[in-house]
Amino acid sequence: MRAHRLLIVTLIAACGGRATTAPQPLRPAAIDGMLAKLSPRQKVAQLVVPWLGGNYMALDDSAFQIATRWVDTLEVGGIIISVGSPYDIAAKLNVLQRRSKLPLLISADLEWGAAMRVVGATAFPYIMAAGATGDERDAYTYGRIAAIEGRAVGIHVNFAPDADVNNNPLNPIINTRSFGEDPHAVARLVRAYVRGLQDNGMLATLKHFPGHGDTDADSHLGLPTIRADYARLDSVELVPFRAGIDAGASVVMSAHIAFPALTGDTPATLSAAMLTGVLRDSLKFKGLVVTDALQMGAIVAKYGAGEAAVRAFEAGSDLLLMPADPDSAIASMLQALASGRITQARLDASVRRMLEIKRGLGLFGRRTVPLDSIARIVGSKVSQDVADGIAQRAVTLVRDTTGIVSRLRANRSRMAIIAYGDELNSYVGQRMLELMRAGGDTVGFFRLWPMSGAASYDSARVVINRAPTVVFAMNVRPIAAKGAIALPDSLARLITVTDSLKPAVLVSLGSPYLLNQTPTVKSYLIAWSGVRPAERAAARALLGWSPIRGKLPIRIPPAYPIGAGLVVSDSTLPPLKPPARVIIP
């Protein structure tokens, strides 16, 4: 595969922005000798990938001791790393890499950039923003910068891009994680994202195979079902996966979703018909197949940690991601091997793929990263400016029936910003507020949360009543195991009532489907994400500092098709006269 030919010469992350001479690659024949020397237990362990937090841990911290046991005793083949600072992640992984007999394959979810897991790295809007620009160069850039920054801290595999076609507005977990709704447009952007990653030394993962877009349930909680025949699957869901495979994607992640036409009531992760029949045989995929997290509700509750691992491997998976209990997963796999349930040849094939991936990445020559290069690479101004540019081009004005947005762009105003986000996004609206004030607007501000009660809503109304114009900055985003992506009903009512009485703009910093709950609002602007570049892009759009040119990559039923979006280049309308003072009940 293309990624295997890249080796490490493109690894800018190891050298502060300059390409380095790669270490001498391990010869392919050496893999045969290495495989022959591994015991059955060591072979099985090469396929197990447990989860590790990226936060700081002392070497004698109990959590870090568990991780060292995975490496020293279990001899796992890889780690999926989670949120932490660049130095904490890199230093921790360096320690584990030095302890491991074989190099560890390190993976992470970096869907919208390394900042998704690496604090301080470059944050892009969720990838549906690239769908809104429609530019393959933007999708390539997502991959390129994620690869450069991720490799700088020791990450080799990005569990992205999301190749799902988001054709169900009620989907509770995909939403803006997808490029959009048109399978061929999604395919173009998936292909570009894959190349952006793999041209820069990081492996791409197509997920969630064979497609998680047309679901109304979250697989973190239960088993979603897509009741479509193979013809529909082939013409919609599989289109982006074919494109990604053609672009050279090295990894495919399975979905915990049932397709009764092919899998019965069995999740695709545990279905040989799907992983072997469709993925391997029909789509001719030759790389690594990784499960989605085996601790998720759709799997572990029914099958248990050990049996889930064995069934996933039988179905065609190579890597067993985040088993609820790594020890149990390894023991169950060994028992299945001893009983003949799985064969030695099948095990060797998966382990060989894993070793070849590590060889292709150059990990047998260099497995650690230099800490002194991190600050020159991760979150650099050059990368941040690129993210700002994409965020700005993605801003989409769906509706402005009374010209409120155009008037705000033409003149400095007095307004209220009412922000909303989950507790993990404690700064939602703050960057908009700072930039709007810096631009000359007089702005009152109040922030609401999912747990906000009547007193908080009363305080919000006080702020609203003091201002002639209101901007609602709403960050409603996909959150694992939440079960829905929606505004609280009380907040949807507040937006609707306010909009009926005074000029208001609804700004989505996340899900594009907020009109489903607020269908009468007169002005609706989408910035696709709550990250700093997206918030600043929304503010710049309202200040009139940049054009608005994004187009919807999804439908917003019933009125707005794919491709809808008002283009605003200049502010030409006269100043907005403040209305008579209206009290919001």
pLDDT at 580: 52
pLDDT at 2: 40
- Pull the structure tokens for residue 330: 């390894």
Instruction: Return the CATH fold of 2-17+46-377.
Output: TIM Barrel (3.20.20)
**Residue 99: Cβ within 10 Å count:** 12
pLDDT at 482: 72
> Which residues form the catalytic set?
220, 292
Side chain identity, residue 386: V
Q: Tell me the C-alpha distance between 55 and 151, whole Å.
A: 18
Nearest alpha carbon to residue 145 among 164, 163, 123? 123
- Binned average pLDDT, 10 residues per bin, the chain of 585 residues: 37 34 61 95 98 96 96 98 98 98 98 98 98 98 98 98 96 95 98 98 97 84 86 97 98 94 92 97 97 83 87 97 95 98 97 97 96 97 97 98 96 96 85 96 97 97 98 91 85 98 98 97 98 97 96 96 94 47 59
Backbone region of residue 150 per phi and psi (left: phi > 0; alpha: psi in -120 to 50; beta: other values) = alpha
Q: Tell me the C-alpha distance between 71 and 63, whole Å.
A: 13
Residues ≥6 apart with Cβ < 8 Å to 128: 166, 175, 176, 177, 178, 179, 180, 512, 528, 553, 554
Please tell me the pTM assigned to this model.
Answer: 0.92
Q: Tell me the C-alpha distance between 240 and 280, whole Å.
A: 16
Question: Does domain 395-543 match CATH 2.60.40.10?
Answer: no
Q: Tell me the C-alpha distance between 385 and 425, whole Å.
A: 22
Q: Tell me the C-alpha distance between 37 and 531, whole Å.
A: 48
Omega before 210 cis (within 30°)? yes
3-state secondary structure at position 84: strand
Q: Which run of H or of E encompasses 362?
A: none
Q: Are 507 and 538 in contact (CB under 8 A)?
A: yes
Please tell me the total number of residues recorded for the chain in this structure: 585
- Pull the structure tokens for residue 262: 């092919």
Nearest alpha carbon to residue 532 among 476, 450, 475? 475
* Strand ranges in 161-273 using DSSP code E only, listed in sequence order: 203-209, 251-254
3-state secondary structure at position 89: helix
Q: Tell me the C-alpha distance between 158 and 256, whole Å.
A: 19
Backbone region of residue 249 per phi and psi (left: phi > 0; alpha: psi in -120 to 50; beta: other values) = beta
Question: 169-197 b/e with 16+ CB inside 10 Å = b?
Answer: bebbbbbbbbbbbbbebbbbbbbbbbbbb
- Pull the structure tokens for residue 26: 């391990």
Q: Tell me the C-alpha distance between 365 and 8, whole Å.
A: 10
pLDDT at 28: 72
- Pull the structure tokens for residue 107: 């993976």
Nearest alpha carbon to residue 427 among 21, 104, 123? 123
* Strand ranges in 174-280 using DSSP code E only, listed in sequence order: 203-209, 251-254
According to DSSP, the β-strands at 396-400 and 523-526 are antiparallel
**Domain boundaries along the sequence of the chain:** 2-17+46-377, 395-543
Q: Tell me the C-alpha distance between 257 and 277, whole Å.
A: 16
Tell me whether domains 2-17+46-377 and 395-543 share a fold.
no
Q: Are 222 and 269 in contact (CB under 8 A)?
A: no
